[in-house]
Chain A
């Protein structure tokens, strides 16, 4: 005869909503992405903004285009899932990490053209996502390792500020590395 069961149902629903708190990210070209707050907090930058109470309706990310932002969100989602409910995932790229179950997924993720890869690096730095920064930088490192210094300058738009004599001196000191 007691009819106190309804209150239990309501509080469960409230709990559900709390667990899937969302946040909206806005790309430089005006597109909005709604993501779980926990996924967005894979980015330390966004985490600080949210924790310090600066996130109102949307978080503007004027340095990230929608194309790149959607990829970044994909990465964060995948890695957040893999890490479960624990702290933001920590993926180490410092060893032969086939103990990392996401290695194959990550390898496919970075099979993109060079410009996209560079944009991902810039975004990972801007958004402070260590795992993504390490992954993309390791990929770039593989691409760099056989190059000449001139090729490096051209690829990354670095100005050569050596005089010809200075450059010859450095080269002579490290002649073995050029052979």
Chain B
């Protein structure tokens, strides 16, 4: 019985529905099928089956065929099913550890098709990359199941600062020379240096990484969206696309905003940057248009834009007298939706205050309390310490997903990368 003849059309129909939300560009059915088929064929041994689907023979499907079909499914035991269907839901560290379970598990785990499936099935925030003064560290939400081999990024060819993360991919920037951008995944230590942009990304610019793992698109297609400051109140947008492997300036020009307060946050086809003046610049990647909406008047550097219940929200710690609370704002107008008291009595006094980092899943928030990183379950009011950061300055903390997502191997070396002309910005 040849499994590969099947076109998995049931699987594909289901994934097509997911696709509508995920993808910013469309592609033909045959491209989808050939992508899936191509990578299923990577392993051609008979004892290796990736997806299990019934054989679809549209001509007479007599009752003997029914029994055949039912009988063939009996072959799969719990071990096989767990290998095929449960592994993709695990974080990368656990999966890598299970390479030593058996040779068959090792073969499946090192197959790029598993990496692709896992990048789509596992999207939980697994920890935070912290950096201060060129020093990198990783604080895991669950050290036994989530982690990376080298949190210092020493697998990159030069020292970098971490700019932004998205669904397992990390965007770093070189500290020297022409500040090249790197896209990498610290789990598999794969990286790619981007060719130089066409415009100068000076100190007033901000980036955002847009990467939506897709069930069908095998390659990790991402975009690095850069909001570039051309003049005092003039922003333009230059986007690098991994599909076209090139930079492109977008038509939209924003002349209504002052300085951006940092790098951006990607969610559902949109990229969001906070401004120093208390608004949010939202850029729609599909229509390549921007919009601006205000944050609540109490907003500040201790608040953060994040995703909760599938929607964008703003999380802000609030202190009154000696009582701490977490306020959550949502909807278009960023109205106050919830306020949860923070019971931190056991932690005693702390200097440095509170900073919201991210929403981990809908009821758990990650917060920096002084130099201690904690998670807070809003309903159970349970606090858990994840780790500590250096107390001697401002530590940036980026949420990270422990995904196996592959990155292109470096196709462009630093020497070959296009040199970037300095244009505009001298306004």
Contacts and interface: CB of A to CB of B under 8 A. Distances in A.
B413 to A, nearest CB: 26
B96 A137 contact: no
A98 B70 CA distance: 34
B101 A160 contact: yes
Contacts of A157: 77-79
Contact of B81 (A137, A146, A149, A178): A137
A152 interface: yes
> Of B77, B81, B142, which is in contact with the most chain A CB atoms at under 10 Å from its CB?
B81
A125 B102 contact: no
Contacts of B176: none
B120 interface: yes
A14 interface: no
Contacts of A122: 76, 78, 81
Contacts of A174: 96-97, 99-100
Interface stretch (B143-151, B152-160, B237-245): B143-151
B102 A170 contact: no
B379 to A, nearest CB: 13
A138 to B, nearest CB: 5
Contacts, number: 154
Interface string A146-179: 1011001100111111100011001101101111
Contact of B123 (A44, A94, A167): A94
A126 B123 CA distance: 28
A32 interface: no
A161 B90 CA distance: 23
A115 to B, nearest CB: 10
Contact of B98 (A63, A137, A149): A149
Given A140-B86, A174-B97, A94 B102 contact: no
Contacts of B18: 92, 94
A19 interface: no
A134 interface: yes
Given A125-B76, A156-B79, A54 B90 contact: no
A158 B123 contact: no
Contacts of B76: 122, 125
Given A96-B123, A152-B98, A160-B101, 10 more contacts: A48-B66, A53-B61, A96-B309, A97-B310, A125-B76, A137-B89, A145-B94, A153-B101, A157-B79, A174-B97
18 contacts: A44-B54, A54-B61, A54-B62, A54-B65, A62-B70, A94-B120, A94-B121, A96-B123, A96-B124, A126-B73, A128-B73, A137-B86, A142-B89, A149-B101, A158-B101, A161-B102, A161-B103, A178-B97
5 shortest A-B CB distances, which residue pairs?
A52-B61, A141-B89, A176-B149, A177-B96, A145-B145
Interface of B: 10-11, 14, 17-18, 52, 54, 61-63, 65-66, 69-70, 73-74, 76-79, 81-82, 85-87, 89-91, 93-94, 96-106, 120-121, 123-124, 142, 144-145, 147-150, 215, 307, 309-310, 361-362
